[in-house]
Copies of this chain bind each other. A is one copy, B any other.
Amino acid sequence: MANKVTLKQIAQEVGLSPSSVSLVLNNRPCRISEENRKRIKEVAARNHYVPNQIARSLVMRESRTLGLIVPNIESRFFASLAGSLEKRCREDGYALFITSSGGSADDDLELLRQLVTRGVDGVFLVVGDEFSDDRALREEVSHLPIPAVMVDRAIEGLECDKVMFDHEMGGYMATRYLIEQGHRRIACLVNARRSNTGRKRLAGYERALREVGLPIDARLEFESEYYIPSAYEASEAVLATDATAVFASSDNIALGLLKRLHEMGKSIPGDISVVSYDNSAADVLFEPALTAIEQDPGVLAEHAFACMSKRLAGRGGKRAEEVVLEPALIVKGSVLDLTEYS
């Protein structure tokens, strides 16, 4: 294990002052003779010298590092978001510090502090979606000495830049599409009890129904956690209704539903139509592929970075910016067109 090489050591070996070495290695436009310039570079290279960013950012007051907090890096969506965001950051010369909180507001807070004290220049915050006491977190975010951008999920009423997909719109689009295809009895399977996004998607579902004068029937609204087994459990009741279509409000929920359907020997879309949300790779396996509401994490990353970039450059107004992205309806083959038969 080699030792760390410092600027001073390089200076000593070359026989010049540390300042000169610093000047040369940073390519500062100053007059150091070509000869010394070359010798410094040569010695630095030979000794595998890398500047200590810690010391550097202490005086420069910036680290060109950004932080990201996600509730769970093992989720496909967040992993993909993290991947895209990191790529984007790197393009602009920023390193991205990815951390995963476990979803509780306490952990979010702890990680946020860690990042700040470690000198990141800004932080992307994907807060846990489920209910929890977020007063301390809220307090911390509003006192942050660096720019923060909330991504995908917001803390209500917090003055902070936000970039997110419109979940209500997603629920609306899915349901609206089913209605347009002639469906009238549409069930939904959502995580409204524990998730803000879930509640919004449910609201969109209900708006679509209301808009065309269809009744909102509590017997068609089913609850499921964002896990396959939970959705699998819940699906039995869903399939016992007279619904001709189901809006499954997440990829895992759709997978649980599919498993149950498969077991019961029911086919899609012949026996029942399905619109999914935010599909996972797994659904390439199914015939037909699932019609779904898609949210591209790359787009989210792009906008989040743009927002951050603005703040870092000192542009960007005093008030918080709010970017709302529309999800997309991707039509594949899991919805039966009932209008043909009318």
List residues of A whose CB falls within 8 A of some B CB. Answer: 1-5, 48, 50-55, 57-58, 63, 65, 72-74, 76, 79-80, 82-83, 86-87, 95-100, 102, 111, 113-114, 116-119, 140, 143-147, 228-229, 255, 258-259, 262-263, 280-282, 284-285, 287
Contacts and interface: CB of A to CB of B under 8 A. Distances in A.
A236 B235 CA distance: 34
A65 B97 CA distance: 11
Contact of A282 (B50, B57, B282): B282
Contacts of A72: 83
B50 A117 contact: yes
Contacts of A65: 118
Given A2-B145, A259-B285, A118 B53 contact: yes
A118 B82 CA distance: 20
B146 A1 contact: yes
A82 B73 CA distance: 8
A100 B113 contact: no
B79 A74 contact: yes
A73 B97 CA distance: 13
Given A79-B79, A259-B285, A281-B282, A144 B1 contact: yes
Given A86-B73, A262-B285, A280-B282, A53 B117 contact: yes
Contacts of A228: 281, 284-285
A321 to B, nearest CB: 13
Nearest to A78: B79
Nearest to A227: B281
Given A1-B145, A147-B1, A118 B259 contact: no
A144 B2 contact: yes
A279 to B, nearest CB: 12
Contact of A57 (B1, B54, B140, B262): B54
A3 B145 contact: yes
A50 to B, nearest CB: 5
7 contacts: A48-B140, A53-B117, A65-B118, A79-B79, A255-B284, A259-B285, A282-B285
